Amino acid sequence: MFSERLRFLRETTGLSQIELAKKIGVAASTYRNYENTSREPNYDTLVKIASVLEVSTDFLLGAQQSEAQNDRLMLAISQLPKEAMPYLYDYVNYLGFKYRIIDGKKK
């Protein structure tokens, strides 16, 4: 679950593996191993990843419950072309502002 969410979030933000690796201070090969499930980050790196991707560590680790509808949505999004990701990210931000969702909580 971690590797799937990590890849999804990275692609949604439009970052390459190399760019995200630099932002969190690890080698590109180490980061690739996070996405292909060969390796898991230590606690400090996990916190850096969550900070850069603007999500909670709970979300990255799958501690927050995921309903079937959310899983289908993530699957649909993962099948979009890379060119669509900036538009998707903008739209999700728009919806967050429209419904005043800040840090995962409705305000």
- pLDDT tens track, the chain, 107 positions: 789 889 988 888 889 999 999 999 999 999 999 999 889 999 999 999 999 988 888 888 877 655 555 776 777 888 889 899 899 989 888 887 777 765 556 55
pLDDT for position 78 = 83
Token pair listed for 3: 């590797």
pLDDT at residue 12, rounded to an integer: 82
Sole residue written with tokens 């995962």: 104
Q: pTM score, two decimals?
A: 0.61
Nearest-angstrom CA–CA distance, 41 and 34: 7
Domain ranges of the chain: 2-80
CATH number of the 2-80 domain: 1.10.260.40
Query: Cα–Cα distance between 23 and 37 in angstroms, integer?
Result: 20
Residue 88: both structure tokens together? 């998707």
pLDDT at residue 69, as a whole number: 53
